[in-house]
Amino acid sequence: MNCIIIEDEIPAQKILKSFISKIPSVVLVGTFKAAIEANSFLNNNTIDVVFLDINLPDMSGLDFIKTVKNPPAIIMTTAYPEYAVSSFELATIVDYLVKPFSFDRFLKAINKAKDRVGIPEKISEENNNDDTIFLNVDKTLHKLILSDILYIESDRNYITVVTETQKLSYIDSLKNWTAKLPESQFIQVHKSYIVNSKFVDKISGNTIFVKAHKIPIGRTYKQELLKALGI
How many other C-beta atoms are found inside a 10 Å radius of the C-beta of residue 161? 24
- 8 Å CB contact between 141 and 134: yes
Closest CA relative to residue 41, chosen from 31, 51, 56: 31
| 151-198 tens-digit pLDDT | 999 998 889 999 999 999 988 888 878 877 877 889 999 999 999 999
Closest CA relative to residue 52, chosen from 139, 42, 111: 42
Examine the pLDDT at 19 and tell me if it is beyond 50: yes
What pLDDT shows up at residue 128?
A: 40
Give SS3 for 47: coil
Average pLDDT (74-90) is: 68
Distance CA 126, CA 184 (A): 10
Domain(s) labelled CATH 2.40.50.1020 in the chain stretch across 132-228
What pLDDT shows up at residue 90?
A: 62
Q: Which of 8-12, 63-67, 135-139 has the lowest mean pLDDT?
A: 135-139
Q: Which CATH architecture has domain 132-228?
A: Beta Barrel (2.40)
Q: How many CA atoms lie within 13 A of 142 on its CB side?
A: 19
C-alpha triplet 166, 113, 146: angle, nearest 5°? 25
* Helices assigned H by DSSP within 68-205: 84-87, 103-117, 174-180
Residue 133 β-bridge partners: 144
Domain(s) labelled CATH 3.40.50.2300 in the chain stretch across 2-117
Cα-to-chain-centroid distance, residue 36:
29
What pLDDT shows up at residue 83?
A: 54
pTM: 0.52
What pLDDT shows up at residue 121?
A: 40
Distance CA 7, CA 9 (A): 6
| 92-144 tens-digit pLDDT | 888 888 888 888 889 889 988 888 776 444 444 444 444 777 777 877 778 88
Cα-to-chain-centroid distance, residue 122:
15
| CATH code for the domain defined by 2-117 | 3.40.50.2300
Examine the pLDDT at 46 and tell me if it is beyond 90: no
- 8 Å CB contact between 93 and 87: yes
What pLDDT shows up at residue 189?
A: 96
Grade residue 32 by pLDDT with cuts at 50, 70 and 90. very high
For the chain, what is the mean pLDDT? Answer: 84
Largest Cα–Cα separation, the chain: 66
